[in-house]
Amino acid sequence: MKNKTPLSGLSLFSGAGGMDVGFIRAGVEIVSANDIDRDACLTYEANHPGGIIKCGDINQNLTDIRRFEGIDIVFGGPPCQGFSVAGKMNPDDPRSKLLWVFMKAVEFTKPRAFICENVKALAVLDKWSEVRQQLFRFARQLGYKYKLVVLNSTAFGVPQSRERMFLIGFRDIEDINDLEAQFERYKKQAPTVRDIVLPLGVAGSENNQRVCNAKVTIAAKPVMRRSPYAGMMFNGQGRPLNPTGYSCALHASMGGNKTPIIDEEHCYFGQDSWVEWYHSYLMAGGEPLSLDAAPKRLRRLTIDEALRIQTFPHDYQFIGGQSSIYRQIGNAVPCDLAQVVAEVVRDFLSTPELITPLPLMEREAKQLRLAI
């Protein structure tokens, strides 16, 4: 990376900056970022100082984005609650319309490439097929060749089963047919939950102080699955994590009883799993235990453990109350996954034989705009 000329990037719907961390690692210089969440903006500024982040409604700042016309990359993840399996999946949700605001920003800035991140559901469910076709038409009308890819974080070294959609478009590249194949070069074995959290120490210790006090209680009517780490054996929507496997997707709703559960004795000290024992007991026909029968060794995932699972840097500072910090973490794209996407995009932008040369006058005009 040291020998490559940095690319310029415009970050939209930036949140706490998880996606930006990955892009910066890949050699992208962020010239501006935007989000509406005040705490997320303060977090972003604390880790990326210099007034890069603009806090406020992107609709009110959209015309100002024109000054970045000719930038190398525009990237971001418009709010996905209207399309998410975890949400109500309502296409009329005002937050869903921000998808088109992102594409409008692409129209205004005419970047060499854009990356629009969202939930897998938008990419694969039939009920969103018309939305996908509208996205594709918009990209074609703007002169972009594009690919829609779905990536699972675990394939790229992230200890979390989190599938995300990336719509990737290029303006001056003729052939992007092997774009998906390029991701194969970046695949690597992900560590387990235990691998990633063990160095922190147990909850409440020096490097793992930010605990979630939401109590773990037994569900009176458990929903059983074949795996003890699926279904719902406990109240709330926080599932237990398998320390020898990968985490489930971390969501913005963490912070209370929707926060994943850790069996501390099993994860940190290698004792037999209480979760697996209880699952076997129920599957054998046992009656659910009483509400408060869950042992104290079952507790919620801490903030610092969640940060590691999302592959944030260990010294990344978060601003806000506990619920806000959990929300910022859950809303983020895992940093390591974002880096892979950025690396693949920059590989394409940095391969001269793939680039369609700009007409001389347009090239000179672009250089002048960036200089200004």
pLDDT surpasses 80 at 363:
no
With contact defined as beta carbons under 8 Å apart, do 91 and 99 qualify? no
**Average pLDDT of span 270-289:** 98
Token duo for residue 83 = 């399309």
Phi then psi dihedrals of residue 200, to 5 deg:
-70, -30
Encode pLDDT of 142-166 as tens digits.
Answer: 999 999 999 999 999 999 999 999 9
Q: Taking a C-beta distance cutoff of 8 angstroms, is the pair 19, 30 a contact?
A: no
* Sequence letter at residue 47: N
Is residue 354's pLDDT more than 70?
Answer: no
Query: Does the pLDDT at position 95 exceed 80?
Result: no
Classified as helix, coil or strand, 40 is helix
Q: Specify the pLDDT at position 140.
A: 96
Three-class DSSP category at 11: strand
As a whole number, the mean pLDDT across the chain is 91
Domain ranges, ordered by start, for the chain:
7-189+334-371, 193-327
- The rounded Cα 244 to chain-centroid distance in angstroms is 22
Q: Is 80 a catalytic residue?
A: yes
Q: Cα–Cα distance between 263 and 207 in angstroms, integer?
A: 18
Q: Please tell me the least confidently modeled range out of 181-185, 242-246, 350-354.
A: 350-354
**How many residues make up the chain in this entry?**
372
**Of these residues, 55, 80, 116, 267, which one is catalytic?**
80
Backbone angles phi, psi at 219, to 5 degrees: -75, 135
Burial string for 201-225 (b: 16+ CB within 10 Å, else e) reads: ebbeeeebebbbebbbbbbeebeee
Residue 93 above 70 pLDDT?
A: no
What is the rounded distance in angstroms from the CA atom of residue 39 to the CA atom of residue 32?
Answer: 17
CA geometry: angle 137, 141, 147, nearest 5 deg: 55
Collapse the DSSP code of 139 into the 3-class scheme (helix H, G, I; strand E, B; otherwise coil) and give the result.
Answer: helix
Closest by CA position to 328, among listed 341, 342, 343, 316: 316
CA 305 to chain centre: 16
What CATH fold (topology level) applies to the domain 7-189+334-371?
Rossmann fold (3.40.50)
In the 8-state DSSP scheme, what is residue 355?
A: B
The rounded distance, in Å, linking the Cα atoms of 165 and 157 is 17
Closest CA to 114 of 23, 1, 181: 23
Query: What does the block give as tokens for 58?
Result: 């992107």
Q: How far from chain centre, in Å, is Cα 22?
A: 10
C-alpha span between 200 and 268 (Å, rounded): 10
**pLDDT above 90 coverage of the chain, percent:** 83
